[in-house]
């Protein structure tokens, strides 16, 4: 299968994820973002998917990456970091993306500080992978493959209400 025939998955990584391996290893582990992206790349190749990765500490760069994925990517896996809980701009950009969206977190936000319990990404995501550390990257890629193979999952109640579709 040629590279151009492989469905594209874009991983979008938000602020401070470039510090993985150094920042709060008791929460996020000792693996770097590059380690996690490599894991996702191996899984993507095994599953017949192409992969791109974008990381930025700047919200506008992440929005531009999501806009750039429109019309060319089958899916976005987004670990927006703390922007998950505050960025309506990311919410709106993801809502304008017509492919699969998987929200990803290394830790389990629901088991952490109260401000992390609400995600503004969730209403426009098809699914959530959280709390599995680096394994989450593989699980997110696997979820994308399965959703592509089985057709897109039925919209969640939030999405059915018009948040994304």
Residues assigned a catalytic role? 28, 105
Any alpha helices (H) in the chain, and if so which ranges?
25-28, 33-46, 59-69, 88-95, 135-150, 157-158
Give the torsion through C-alpha atoms of 3, 139, 137, 53, to 10 deg: 30
Beta bridge partners of 105: 130
Give the integer Cα–Cα distance in Å for 92 and 2. Answer: 33
Beta bridge partners of 128: 103
β-pairing, 50-55 vs 75-79, is unpaired
């Amino acid at each position: 299968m040629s590279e151009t025939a492989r469905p594209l998955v874009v991983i979008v990584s938000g602020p401070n994820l470039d510090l993985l391996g150094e920042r709060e290893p008791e929460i996020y582990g000792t693996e770097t973002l590059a380690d996690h992206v490599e894991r996702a790349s191996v899984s993507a190749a095994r599953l017949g998917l192409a992969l791109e990765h974008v990381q930025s500490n700047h919200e506008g760069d992440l929005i531009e990456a999501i806009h750039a994925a429109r019309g060319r990517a089958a899916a976005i896996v987004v670990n927006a970091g703390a922007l998950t809980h505050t960025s309506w701009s990311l919410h709106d950009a993801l809502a304008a993306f017509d492919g699969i969206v998987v929200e990803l977190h290394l830790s389990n936000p629901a088991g952490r500080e109260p401000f992390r319990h609400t995600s503004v990404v969730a209403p426009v995501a098809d699914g959530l992978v959280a709390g599995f550390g680096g394994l989450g990257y593989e699980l997110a890629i696997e979820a994308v493959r399965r959703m592509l193979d089985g057709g897109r999952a039925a919209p969640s109640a939030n999405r059915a209400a018009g948040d994304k579709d």
